[in-house]
Amino acid sequence: MAAIHVTKDNFKQEVLEADVPVLVDFWAEWCGPCQMVLPIVEELAGEVKDAKVCKVNVDEQMELAKEFRVMSIPTLMVFKDGQKVKSEVGAKSKEELKAMLGV
């Protein structure tokens, strides 16, 4: 399964109400490091079974970026039981993302 594109309209349903851990990648098309992480995020989305992977384009979803205080991108956050439990800034390896998710 590909990473789910999340907007302010479906963030609550896809992330906060999820019954599994959720990795959220806050990114933008013009961001070089974001483009480096993109294939890793998509690959991880296709592999994980007990977690969910979502993406938020900060240029299109400024309200979400502001709400979660995204100051630099890529910012990767993990949510469990409706709460942000981890946050990292910068490009990460697939192993680092798996460790963040606990998978």
pLDDT digits (tens, 9 = 90+) for 32-61: 999 999 999 999 999 999 999 999 999 999
| Rounded percentage of the chain residues whose pLDDT exceeds 70 | 100
Report the C-alpha dihedral over residues 76, 81, 82, 83, rounded to 10 degrees. Answer: -60
Q: Is 54 annotated in the active site? A: no
Burial 33-62 (b: 16+ CB within 10 A, else e): ebeebbebbbebbeebeebbbbbbbbeebe
Mean pLDDT of the chain: 95
**How far is C-alpha 25 from the geometric centre of its chain's CA atoms?**
3
- Contact by Cβ (8 Å): 79, 21: yes
Read off the tokens for 18.
């999820």
Share of the chain above pLDDT 90, in %: 95
Catalytic residue flag (residue 34): yes
For residue 32, give the amino acid letter.
G
pLDDT, one tens digit per residue, over 11-39 is 999 999 999 999 999 999 999 999 999 99
Given 3, 34, 51, 65, which residue is catalytic? 34
pTM of the model as a whole: 0.95
- Select which of 15, 22, 31, 56 is catalytic: 31
Give the domain 4-95 fold: Glutaredoxin (3.40.30)
Q: How far apart are CA 71 and CA 65, in angstroms?
A: 8
Q: Which of 42, 39, 27 minimizes the C-alpha distance to 90? A: 27
